Structure 1
C-alpha cells in the first residue's frame, strides 16, 4: 500500500508542484493519469456477487481469487464470502471484463 501512496504523491508533485491548481483541477489531472478510488466490498453478499475469477485484497494484504464460487488465496483456500468478509475492508483488484 505504501508503494501506491508514494506513487500518488509523486504524481501530485509532478502535476501540481507549485500548488497552484484547485482541488477540482488537481483531481482532473490525476484522473487523466489513471488514478481512481478503489472499489471496496463490505458484505458477504457483495463478495458473492462478484463474477468468477475476480481478485480481491483484504486488510492484511492477502490476495484471493474467486474460483468455483469460493475464495482461494496463496495462504488461504476455499473460503466462503462470509468467511472472507471478516477481513474487511476488501478492495477489488480485478474483475473479468474490467468491472472492478
Structure 2
C-alpha cells in the first residue's frame, strides 16, 4: 500500500476533476441543478436515450445499445426534443453534460 508520503494521491482523479470544474466555474452548481431538474421529467427509457445522445451516439447506435429499432430510437429522440423544448440533439447533449449525471 502506497502512502501519501510516497506520492499516493489523497483524492481520486474523478474527485479532483469535479473539484477543479466546480472551482473554475462558479455557475456550474446552479447550471447543474437546473439541468438535472429538467431531466427529471423524463421516463427511465427517455433518460437512457438522453444519456446516449450525451455520448454523441447516432440513432442506429442508440438502437443497437438499447435494443430497439432505429425508428423507435428516432421516436424517442423526437419525444425528448419536444418534452425538453429543445431544437436539436446537440442541445440534449449539452443539457446532459450540464447535468453531470453518472453513467
Q: TM-score range by the shorter chain?
A: under 0.3
Q: Which has the higher strand share?
A: 1
TM-score scaled to structure 1, two decimals?
A: 0.23
Structure whose CA Rg is larger: 2
TM-score scaled to structure 2, two decimals?
A: 0.22
Higher relative contact order structure (alpha carbons within 8 Å, sequence separation ≥ 6): 2
